[in-house]
């Protein structure tokens, strides 16, 4: 059989302007059916001409399309086109998992795959391919489809694979010739674990990687498997960076240390840089980890900073994080020459316009290398979404706007229009008021801590700076949108400074220690097993 794997269109706004990540989802499921012909069409990279694309579709028996929530209309459009050209259509990924009905009810989608894709995809392909195993469609766990009476059927859920090492290596050969970049650097993703033991209010990871009879699921690959993947990427593609792409690479500190030690011992870190996503509380409690990350040539860390307001952090279920910890961790990382891409959530319920502006100003003061300001977003399929819907806070059902750039909800304090204005204000104040000069001074200094940037500076400027700026201008983001309130820093931050210092002082005076992390309990459990 011939299978075309499809990554849907680029988004107009948000991170897509500065990052083009390879679809690890598609190359992971493709690895499960190596006996079938495979090709990857990536709308973010490959040129699209409808006529040509349709005639290309004629050559395939099946298409496998991935979709996050804001891409879902594009994914459905492609599925419709593929069906018209006679292909069997299979859709999977975040949105089909979180809101399966939305996808499965379309008569041009043959199979909607929910949750972990590998085993389900293989069974679907075997089923389409003359049903060699002679199973009934009802026996394929993890799919939704329309039955012959026109009813949407959701089969039993697919249990997660216990041992991630049992999955074959992703089909990286399918990425050949496509230029995937993060802020201009050639970057490839490697996934070392799935799931997360935390429970941040706004996050959909927990719903994605979970057996419904368990509160949480966290699974890891073995270190030898991770190293095989690192070597495979290096040999094939020699990227500037490998990005350990799971949302929290440092969940289990002992395991993270082992991975870093192995990387250092192997010497592979002299061939490329690494980056990962981590949490402030983990790095705060484990400063040695920052040292070791640096030694292993990690030069970029994605951190969820979220808010300068403790009340928001608490309400987000990030009670273990304080603004003082954020400040400390950011300083420690940057002092070493590790750049930080921070995620900051604007307008969490309870935050007024003034509080949001304080959050923006605090982000500027932290002097992060890059920031993504996200209007508080409730992804459909999460408990947070249900709660916000019940309270009448959801302002649009158009998933196009669920892109972490446009607001999709309001709060008791902010309308969605005000929220959008604040996002624009945040980006303008952060990036258009001296950021470029500050960064250039650091990155262009051949003797400075960030001199590792020099090798990819041209591409960084082209994609990271010019791509980002042109996205801002296309969205009407200029310095004109910065409010007088944000311009008057002293007045704006006067109460923040007090509570900021108070938090730190309180902690040292009272000797208050943050509560043990749930992840540390998980570590203890994992050590025993
Ligand atoms: C790396 C990453 C990116 C990269 C690369 C994206 C890419 N092309 O894959 C970049 C930085 C570009 C990115 C951008 C965005 N991202 Co992103 N990203 C991730 C991250 C951290 C890892 C994704 C990954 O590779 N996982 C590993 C693979 C193997 O898992 P997977 O993709 O889920 O695929 C499995 C299953 O879903 C399923 N499956 C998936 N597709 C298909 C298709 C078929 C046919 C089948 C059968 C099965 C199947 O099988 C796979 C194997 O089990 C996830 C969080 C996470 N931990 O997953 C967020 C995440 C997916 N991103 C998210 C979002 C919102 C975005 C942005 C909208 C943010 C923004 N405003 O810029 C953009 C959208 C970009 C776009 N147009 O594609 C959300 C999605 C939420 C949602 N409900 O859709 C997540 C979950 C982050 C979060 N915590 O909220 N992202
Ligand atoms: S730590 Fe990251 S992945 Fe885990 S629940 Fe929080 S936001 Fe989601």
Element (H, E) at 124: helix 118-128
Q: Is 246 in the pocket of ligand 1 (CB under 6 A)?
A: yes
Point out the ligand nearest to the CA of residue 320: 2
Which strands sit side by side in the sheet containing 62-66, from one edge to the other? 37-42, 2-7, 62-66, 88-92, 111-113, 143-146, 152-154
Q: CA-CA distance, 367 to 43, in Å (whole number)?
A: 34
Query: Do 333 and 375 contact (CB within 8 A), yes or no?
Result: no
Taking CA atoms only, the protein residue closest to ligand 2 atom 8 is 203
Nearest atom (ligand 2) to Cα of 317:
6
Residue bearing the CA closest to ligand 1, atom 59 = 247
- For residue 381, give the ligand nearest its CA: 1
Ligand 1 contacts CB of residue 24 (under 6 A): yes
For residue 406, what are the contacts with CB-CB under 8 A and spacing of at least 6?
13, 375, 400, 420
Q: Provide the 3-class DSSP secondary structure of residue 210.
A: coil
Does residue 196's CB lie within 6 angstroms of at least one atom of ligand 2? yes
Tell me how far the alpha carbon of residue 77 lies from the centroid of ligand 1, in angstroms.
19
Q: Which helix (H) or strand (E) holds 461?
A: none
The dihedrals phi and psi of 391, each to the nearest 5 degrees, come to: -85, 0
- Selection from 190, 182, 112, 93 nearest residue 153 by Cα: 112
Give me the helices (H) in 310-433, please: 310-315, 323-336, 353-366, 383-390, 416-431
CA 299 to ligand 2 center in whole angstroms: 21
Q: In 353-488, where does DSSP find H-type helix?
A: 353-366, 383-390, 416-431, 435-443, 457-459, 468-474, 484-487
Ligand 2 centroid to residue 473 C-alpha, Å: 31
Which atom belonging to ligand 2 lies closest to the Cα atom of 199?
Answer: 5
Q: How far apart are CA 496 and CA 5, in angstroms?
A: 50
Q: Atom of ligand 1 at shortest distance to CA of 29?
A: 52
Residue 248 CB–ligand 2 contact under 6 Å: yes
Residues 6+ apart with CB under 8 A from 5: 23, 26, 27, 29, 30, 38, 39, 40, 41, 63, 64, 65, 66, 174
Using a 6 Å cutoff on CB, does residue 203 contact ligand 2?
yes
pLDDT tens, N- to C-terminus, the chain (529 residues)? 999 999 998 777 777 778 889 999 999 999 999 999 999 999 999 999 999 999 999 999 999 999 999 999 999 999 999 999 999 999 999 999 999 999 999 999 999 999 999 999 999 999 999 998 899 999 999 999 999 999 999 999 999 999 999 999 999 999 988 889 888 889 999 999 999 988 899 999 988 998 988 877 899 999 999 999 999 999 999 999 999 999 999 999 999 999 999 999 999 999 999 999 999 999 999 999 999 999 999 999 999 999 999 999 999 999 999 999 999 999 999 999 999 999 999 999 999 999 999 999 999 999 999 999 999 999 999 999 999 999 999 999 999 999 999 999 999 999 999 999 999 999 999 999 999 999 989 988 989 999 888 878 887 887 778 888 888 888 889 999 999 999 999 999 998 864 554 444 445 444 444 454 454 454 543 443 3
Q: Max Cα separation, the chain?
A: 72
Could you say which ligand is closest to the alpha carbon of residue 194?
Answer: 1
| Closest protein CA for atom 1 of ligand 2 | 198
Burial class (CB in 10 A: 0-12, 13-18, 19+), 270: exposed
| Ligand closest to the CA atom of residue 405 | 1
């Amino acid at each position: 059989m011939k299978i075309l794997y499809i990554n849907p269109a680029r988004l107009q706004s948000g991170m897509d302007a500065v990052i083009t990540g390879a679809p690890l989802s598609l190359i992971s499921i493709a690895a499960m059916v190596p006996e079938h012909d495979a090709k990857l069409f990536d709308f973010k990279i490959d040129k699209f001409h409808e006529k040509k694309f349709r005639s290309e579709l004629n050559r395939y028996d099946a298409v496998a399309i991935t979709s996050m929530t804001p891409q879902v209309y594009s994914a459905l459009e492609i599925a419709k086109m593929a069906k018209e050209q006679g292909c069997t259509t299979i859709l999977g990924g975040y949105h089909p998992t979180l809101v399966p009905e939305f996808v499965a009810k379309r008569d041009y989608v043959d199979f909607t795959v929910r949750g972990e894709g590998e085993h389900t995809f293989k069974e679907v392909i075997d089923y389409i391919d003359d049903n060699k195993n002679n199973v009934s469609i009802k026996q394929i766990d993890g799919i939704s489809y329309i039955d012959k009476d026109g009813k949407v059927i959701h089969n039993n859920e697919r249990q997660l694979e216990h041992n991630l090492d049992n999955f074959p290596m992703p089909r990286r050969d399918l990425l050949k010739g496509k230029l995937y970049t993060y802020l201009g650097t050639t970057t490839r993703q490697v996934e070392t674990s799935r799931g997360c033991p935390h429970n941040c209010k706004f996050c959909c990871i927990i719903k994605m990687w979970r057996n419904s009879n368990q509160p949480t699921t966290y699974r890891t690959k073995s270190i030898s498997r991770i190293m095989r993947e690192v070597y495979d990427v290096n040999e094939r593609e020699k990227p500037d960076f490998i990005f350990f792409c799971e949302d929290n690479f440092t969940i289990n500190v002992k395991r993270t240390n082992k991975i870093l030690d192995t990387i250092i011992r192997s010497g592979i870190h002299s061939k490329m840089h690494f980056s990962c996503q981590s949490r402030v509380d983990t790095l705060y409690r484990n400063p040695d980890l920052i040292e070791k990350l640096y030694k292993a040539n990690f030069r970029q860390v994605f951190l969820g900073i979220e808010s300068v307001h403790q009340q928001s952090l608490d309400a987000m279920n990030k009670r273990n994080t304080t603004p003082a910890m954020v400040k400390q961790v950011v300083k420690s990382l940057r002092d070493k020459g590790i750049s930080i891409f921070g995620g900051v959530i604007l307008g969490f319920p309870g935050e007024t316009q003034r509080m949001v502006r304080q959050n923006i100003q605090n982000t500027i003061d932290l002097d992060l290398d890059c920031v993504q300001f996200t209007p508080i977003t409730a992804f459909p399929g999460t408990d947070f979404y249900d709660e916000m819907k019940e309270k009448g806070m959801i302002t649009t059902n158009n998933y196009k706007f669920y892109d972490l750039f446009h607001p999709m909800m309001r709060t008791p304090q902010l309308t969605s229009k005000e929220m959008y204005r604040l996002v624009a204000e945040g980006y303008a104040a952060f990036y258009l008021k001296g950021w470029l000069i500050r960064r250039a001074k650091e990155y262009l200094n051949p003797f400075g801590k960030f001199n590792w940037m020099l090798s990819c500076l041209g591409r960084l400027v082209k994609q990271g700076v010019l791509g980002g700026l042109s996205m801002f201008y296309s969205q009407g983001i200029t310095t004109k949108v910065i409010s007088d309130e944000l311009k008057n820093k002293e007045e704006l931050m006067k109460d923040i400074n007090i509570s900021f210092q108070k938090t730190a002082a309180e902690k040292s005076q009272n000797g208050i220690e943050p509560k043990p992390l749930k992840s540390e309990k998980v570590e203890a459990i994992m050590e025993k097993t």
